[in-house]
A = this chain, B = another copy of it.
Amino acid sequence: MNAPVTLPTAADVDAAARRIAGVAVRTPLINVPVLDARLGARVFLKAETLQRTGSFKFRGAYNKISSIPEARRAAGVVAYSSGNHAQGVAMAAQLCGMRATIVMPADAPRAKRERTAALGAEIVPYDRNTEDRAAIAARIVAERGAMLVPPYDDLFIIAGQGTIGKEIVEDMERLGLKPDIVVVGASGGGLAAGIALGVKARVPEAVLYAVEPEGFDDTLRSFRSGKRESNARMSGSICDALLSATPGELTFPITRKLIGQGFTVSDAEVGQAVRYAFEELKLVVEPGGAVGLAALLAGKLDVKGKIVAGVLSGGNVDAEMFAKLIAG
């Protein structure tokens, strides 16, 4: 039996927004007429690809790390990550003057490894299929007294990602609009839970959908069974950013209550979305960052006449992989 946990709320999202203001990029909410015409809807895409370190992960990481008390900072921070969280943590630590150690899969995209190292972090590689990254991180925490920055299952992380939902609603308000539908990728659930908190507190009638890669639909299966299900595999999708084993202990109660439904997308559908983003949106989106757009383009849900928000959650993709995807 786990100890009782404190779930983040919309108030934590507001506090996070104050903490990251002026440090995180307030990314643009992009409306592309040609996408509206294709879907028969008004579609707004939050371009977190333009966030510091190229993904939304900086928001949660900075919210967490900047909240670490002065007395605990000297021991540094530790994180485990397939790449985007690693970069977010490395940069947040750098901005806070702290040392960062990142436990990273040995098969993570080269661009993500190199960029994390360039931000001054120490990288500890592990085998995605045989080793337990959380255990390796825990050992480093025990040895050094460093603070763990979890990828998603943390109040500060969830609240930080939630600022995206807050900004989506605020930016739409300025246009006199409210989202009817919000589509968000899910893996551990930090982004999905955060956005759900940020959106539903302001627009309770908004309907949210979680999107996962085929074969990595732990969140959707958990919605159906009511308990946290796991994925059979830890690799084998082009969405390298979305391969967490299971929804979080903190994220699941939130996503279950505020989202509760969603879709899977195939690698082919994700590839088509990456290509569409290149050709029509002129945005570089990594596969894991394009699952929401993929669900929209593949017609997984009926959005006709609706006001729809999606998140392009990251753009850290190797040139080689990107070239392959846009070639079609």
Contacts and interface: CB of A to CB of B under 8 A. Distances in A.
B32 A50 contact: yes
A126 interface: no
A47 B322 CA distance: 21
Nearest to A111: B279
Interface in A14-42: 25, 28, 30-34
Interface stretch (A71-79, A281-289, A303-311): A281-289
Interface residues of A, number: 30
A33 B52 contact: yes
A274 to B, nearest CB: 11
Contacts of A32: 25, 50
A5 interface: no
Given A111-B279, A278-B284, A50 B30 contact: yes
Contacts of A278: 284, 319, 322
A276 to B, nearest CB: 12
Contacts of A52: 33-34
- What 3 A-B pairs have minimum CB-CB distances, sorted nearest first? A282-B315, A323-B323, A28-B28
